[in-house]
Amino acid sequence: MHVFVAVLNWGLGHATRSIPVINQLLQRNIEVTIGSDGAALHLLKQEFSALRFIQLPAHEVTYPAHGSLMLNMLMQLPRIQKTIRQEHQQVQELIAELHFTHIISDNRYGCFSEKIPSIIITHQLQLLFSGVWNVGATIINATLKKALEKFNTVWIPDSGPAGITQPFTAGVKIPHRFVGMLSRFATPANATNDSLIVGLVSGPENQRTLFEQTLLAQLTKLMRPSVIVRGVTHTADVRVQNGVELINHLPAAELEELMVNASVIIARSGYSTIMDLYCLGKQQVILVPTPGQTEQEYLGQYVKENKIAVVQSQGEIDLEKAFAILPACLGFRRSENKNQLKQALDELLI
């Protein structure tokens, strides 16, 4: 068997949640080739240096510093569709050249084939919209459904239909199965440093930089031991600015150790980050949704309503106020591992 794992480069979440999938394939002594681009490709090369890697076309999606995110995304849609067609053509050529027997794609909609079993990993069977954009929701979600149906089935990284992804999956009639929360981390533990604050910054520009700048300014005021992991993978540069340690990127094992040791974690409310927090069972967390990203805003609202963590908007970050609220939060309670991913792989690789 030869499995091609194709990973979207849109922040680092898709790459990080692909790590447990790749690890399970390697444990079965299955040949694996990884395809991605940009920061995601660099991260996966660091984690799996002995494997073969393929450079896939870059989507090059950017987030606006101001204005409507949805309008900005619609303007980029023709370029995204062109990239999907390019990656689909490339995958067909790779199948002929490298003799793949299966494809597992994390949100790369062009990475499928009618010739071999093709799986897509996503928790978005339908997109959420708000305000004026609800008008086009039916058309857009019908287009999404058509794209997903090109795969044999969808793997949803959640424990079941009543999980946190329910609004994205409920009522959609597409072949799918739940494979449990996918995280590169595996060690639940309590903080060992009562004062350490860790900020995790990632995602598309320009919002990644804006979040980093805002977080640095806030942490400088607190005068507490603080680290910001910048989510920039091209260099391992480490420096200290205004008393805050800035680390461009850490391998999974080192990042896990840092997060376990942290008293407080500050991060985006991206789904992959939330899965990591559940896996580690972190108790004191502050989440900041990416402005205009409906999914992160929903997840932030879910976490806030269930009193799991403090949630603040990027334009109103006030860490002193957040720290005052933290003791009342329940934290991320580690979910039971039902071995759903192993079962899904067992069925796929028969």
Q: What is the pLDDT of residue 203?
A: 77
Q: Residue 87 burial (CB < 10 Å; 0-12/13-18/19+)?
A: buried
**Under DSSP, is residue 249 helix (H, G, I), strand (E, B) or coil?**
coil
For residues 92 and 63, the answer to whether their CB atoms sit within 8 Å is no
For residues 146 and 120, the answer to whether their CB atoms sit within 8 Å is no
**Tokens describing residue 82:** 């062109």
Q: What is the pLDDT of residue 130?
A: 62
As a whole number of angstroms, the distance between CA 29 and CA 331 comes to: 37
Task: Spell out the residues 6+ positions from residue 304 whose beta carbon is closer than 8 angstroms to its own.
Answer: 310, 311
Q: Residue 290 burial (CB < 10 Å; 0-12/13-18/19+)?
A: buried
Q: Which residues of the chain have pLDDT under 50?
A: none
Q: What is the pLDDT of residue 235?
A: 64
What the chain holds in terms of domains, given with CATH numbers, is 2-181+338-348 (3.40.50.2000), 197-328 (3.40.50.2000)
For residues 103 and 91, the answer to whether their CB atoms sit within 8 Å is yes
Query: Tens digits of per-residue pLDDT, 225-267?
Result: 999 999 887 666 778 988 899 999 888 889 999 999 999 999 9
For residues 94 and 88, the answer to whether their CB atoms sit within 8 Å is no
Radius of gyration in angstroms for the set of CA atoms belonging to the chain, rounded to a whole number:
20
Task: Spell out the residues 6+ positions from residue 105 whose beta carbon is closer than 8 angstroms to its own.
Answer: 5, 6, 7, 111, 112, 118, 119, 120, 121, 151
Q: Give the helix ranges, DSSP H, for the chain.
A: 13-27, 38-47, 69-98, 137-148, 166-169, 207-222, 252-261, 271-280, 294-305, 319-325, 340-348
Q: What is the pLDDT of residue 189?
A: 58
For residues 81 and 73, the answer to whether their CB atoms sit within 8 Å is no
For residues 277 and 285, the answer to whether their CB atoms sit within 8 Å is yes
For residues 203 and 270, the answer to whether their CB atoms sit within 8 Å is yes
Q: What is the pLDDT of residue 186?
A: 74
- The pTM score is 0.85
For residues 332 and 282, the answer to whether their CB atoms sit within 8 Å is yes
Q: What is the pLDDT of residue 65?
A: 58
Q: What is the pLDDT of residue 34?
A: 98
Q: What is the pLDDT of residue 134?
A: 57
As a whole number of angstroms, the distance between CA 229 and CA 254 comes to: 11
Q: What is the pLDDT of residue 24?
A: 96
